[in-house]
Chains A and B, each alone.
Chain A
């Protein structure tokens, strides 16, 4: 069997007896690696001192120029997930994970070369473009596979993988700092070899994931699982073709729900340290603020698993109603906490908000599965990720510019964020309305059994055995 055929979907069909609990670690192998993106900022300061070593020298890269590396990667993530979504769905998870590993690791290698010859455009091309494509393909690659393996708990299953994306930064951050200290010499700061080692480690990790991953045989069901006879109004048994799905109002309503939820969360995530210190001057030190940011990252990760698991019981639409209503209440409470000087109240509010930010990401694949079926859920999810790219621009801009406007108009720094909090609550009100209007997809969009668009891998292997151990 050649390498290329080993990657094919038909060679990833699980044999009888394969445990579905092998699939979440396979997904985590990919998501823990690509989650490094959240920790890229640890390289920012060292990369401004590549020539000067101890401090920036003339010709060293500027922080503002380096900021584009992460922005390009996140932008490309959204659009590559949309563009390659159908290919990922039809090619199968192993091929997608392998491609993501090549792009992600390749991005690090190109960046390492770019740093070693001090050419920033190579870092943009490597980490930003190539790495961004790896991010997009890697992010969506295990989604539909997990949903097919866990029809009884799709939220929990995708929550586990997407939790890995949040957790990847926890590993990458200390690992990168340690590697830079190991490779640092009197002649260079150690960024280039760190990139090279990270690329190699991530490649191995992601390849292991692609080897482990399997798709269930057609007709497979978990042991003891009985599909509910009466379907719920908002859970379809039909599939919608990816390019039909993006024509439906439901897709765009969910797009806005995600975009607004992420906008509200991402703005405070990036500014949490400065915000806590400015709202409680003298009481929250820079060291304590750093601890607060760490705690927020933990709740971001925990929320991804927790909220997505809860959504299996209360329903996806209701989960987003909770995000919106609770979010509105909490954003309106933050200025009050600032007024009465309650640091603990402020911290609790933001920890819950950030858990719902993470939960918004992890619950959405199951929401899409409920609305559009499992067949093209990965590809549809890919298109939805563009909401994240947009929110990545809206959120920080809203927080930064409104704060700046307030401060320049004489508002004390301690109160400069109040208006922003009310605006965030307003965004969630719009999100609530969008979620309210999500109804079942019209039957005219459902795929027919003899639909000629793309071969259906679920039926292509109809003779394969269905019994497998859950």
Chain B
């Protein structure tokens, strides 16, 4: 295993969090919209 520095870039972090964050936010928004029926 290489012991050289291999720093994580900001782009990698954005891609990783976007990969899971976008579907999650989509799901939460859908649920929130459905939940609003409680107050109608």
With contacts A170-B27, A171-B24, A171-B27 known, is A19 near B13, CB below 8 A?
Answer: yes
Which of chain A's residues have a CB closer than 8 A to the CB of B7?
17-19, 469
Report B4-40 residues with CB < 8 Å from chain A CB.
4-8, 12-13, 16-17, 19-21, 23-24, 26-28, 30-32, 34-40
CA distance A290 to B38 in the complex (A): 7
Which of chain A's residues have a CB closer than 8 A to the CB of B35?
291-292, 294-295, 298
Which of A294, A301, A464: most chain B CB closer than 10 A? A294
With contacts A171-B26, A290-B34 known, is A15 near B5, CB below 8 A?
Answer: yes
A24-32, A81-89, A396-404: which lies at the interface: A24-32
CA distance A402 to B13 in the complex (A): 50
Q: Count residues of A near B (Cβ-Cβ below 8 Å).
A: 40
Q: Count residues of B near A (Cβ-Cβ below 8 Å).
A: 30
Chain B min CB distance to A143 (Å)? 17
Please tell me if the beta carbons of A288 and B6 are within 8 angstroms of each other in the complex.
Answer: no
Which residue of chain B is the closest to A287 with respect to CB atoms? B37
Please tell me if the beta carbons of B6 and A16 are within 8 angstroms of each other in the complex.
Answer: yes
A15-B5, A17-B6, A28-B20 are known contacts; what are 11 more A-B pairs with Cβ within 8 Å? Answer: A16-B3, A25-B21, A169-B27, A170-B24, A171-B23, A172-B27, A212-B16, A288-B38, A291-B39, A292-B35, A294-B34
A-B contact pairs, 5 of them (CB 8 A): A15-B1, A25-B21, A291-B38, A294-B34, A298-B32
Binding site for B on A (CB under 8 A): 10-11, 13, 15-19, 21-22, 25-26, 28-29, 32, 164, 167, 169-174, 208, 212, 287-292, 294-295, 297-298, 301, 347, 464-465, 469
